[in-house]
Amino acid sequence: MSSPVPAPNAESRLLPPYRALFAVDAKDFTGLAAVQHGPISQLIPELVDRALERAALHELRDSKRFPANTGDGVVFGFEPALLPFVLWPFLDVLDDTLGAYNRQSVGPRIRLRASVHVGPLPDADGPGDGNGTARNDTHRLLDSRPVKAILTAASEEVTHLAAIISQRVYEDVVLGGFTGLHPDRCVEVPATVEGKDFAQRAWLYVPSPSGNLVRAGVRPREEEESAALPGTAAAREQPPGTSAGTHYSGNTQKVGEGAAVMGGVGGDVTYTGGSSTYHGTNQHWGSGDNVAGGKRTGGAGDGR
């Protein structure tokens, strides 16, 4: 017999343990032929596990909590202590793993959106494990307009992964300095989902930017290090008063579908999404899908 449904705030009870959550789903999965759905559903968790192996996260691969195959992706919980390593190097390794697969595959490309979150969830080896607000928010982040728009705008030849990181994870792990992912590699966005009562501040991270992102001055990983070296052409071409690691060069991009990235050094980051209204620090948006900004990068610390 199932347990009675508790009434909220009727009494105090133990808080469920905090669990980190990682979820991915595939771009354009529903557009695939029906015969391809089953094999792709099996392939995605295999590629995620392959990346966990390559990132030396054997413990996480073998100790996932309440894992689930969602058809077009996977979701699982894990110990929050491993969050720094999921943000880096795992996201970069997953992007590389997807790229290696896509370059040799004769079938459809696998391009993923990923979300990373943390919160209290039941985890007592029971049938309801993993269900709760944190799980719901993880999927809302995954379906939010900014991460979808960015992946659509990027080149399918280069950008295989776009990740969205919750504000809680960003504050505790990235700003806390516990991960190799530098804060300046992340862009603040409002995460909203069309047709859903959901609006949260979140952070986008694209390991291999391309397309409109590169034209706007967002450099791929391999170019960032060379741009910072004194005497290089990239360093000599830096505008006066900018740092060598600046990712945004002040270009303006206009697109009919997807996302545009615009910016100048040292200013705000702006996203214009659907008709939702949300006012947060350095954020303004109305209609369309545009990411704009003056994102300061470089400086002290790792330039990842």
In the prediction, which pLDDT does 180 show?
97
Q: What percent of the chain has pLDDT over 90?
A: 59
DSSP for 16-63 reads PPEEEEEEEEETTGGGS-HHHHHHHHHHHHHHHHHHHHHTT-HHHHHS
At position 106, the amino acid (one-letter code) is V
pLDDT score of 34 more than 80: yes
Q: Is residue 94 classed as helix, strand or coil in its secondary structure?
A: helix
The predicted structure's pLDDT at residue 32:
78
Strands, sheet with 65-69, edge to edge from the N-terminal-most edge strand: 65-69, 73-78, 18-26, 112-120, 161-166, 199-205, 187-192
- Residue 133 has what pLDDT? 96
Outline where DSSP puts E strands in the chain.
Answer: 18-26, 65-69, 73-78, 112-120, 161-166, 187-192, 199-205, 261-262, 269-272, 290-293
DSSP state of 139: H
Nearest to 112 by CA among 55, 76, 150, 64: 150
pLDDT digits (tens, 9 = 90+) for 230-285: 443 433 333 333 333 323 333 333 333 333 333 322 233 343 444 333 333 333 33
pLDDT, position 221: 58
Whether the Cβ atoms of residue 295 and residue 248 lie closer than 8 Å to each other: yes
Asked if the model's pLDDT at residue 181 lies above 50, the reply is: yes
pLDDT of residue 233: 40
Do the bridges between strand 187-192 and strand 199-205 make them parallel or antiparallel, or are there none, so unpaired? antiparallel
Tell me if 31 sits within 8 A of 64, measured CB to CB.
Answer: no
Q: Tens digits of per-residue pLDDT, 118-173?
A: 999 999 988 889 999 999 999 999 999 999 999 998 999 999 999 999 999 999 99
So what's the pLDDT on residue 220? 55
Distance CA 142, CA 112 (A): 10
Which pTM was predicted? 0.75
Contact (CB, 8 A) for 131 and 140: no
Q: Specify the pLDDT at position 1.
A: 59
Query: How high is the pLDDT of residue 268?
Result: 35
Using CB atoms within 10 Å of the CB of residue 257, give its burial: 0 to 12 exposed, 13 to 18 middle, 19+ buried: exposed
pLDDT at residue 290 tops 60: no
Which residues are CB-contacts of 12 (< 8 A; sequence separation ≥ 6)? none
The backbone torsions φ and ψ at residue 136, rounded to the nearest 5 degrees and listed phi first, read -60, -45
Domains and CATH numbers, the chain: 18-209 (3.30.70.1230)
Helix 91-104 × helix 34-54 angle, to 10°? 130
Mean of the per-residue pLDDT values for the chain?
77
Assess whether pLDDT exceeds 60 at residue 225. no
Q: What is the largest CA-CA distance in the chain?
A: 72
What is the residue type of 38?
A: G
pLDDT confidence of residue 285: 34
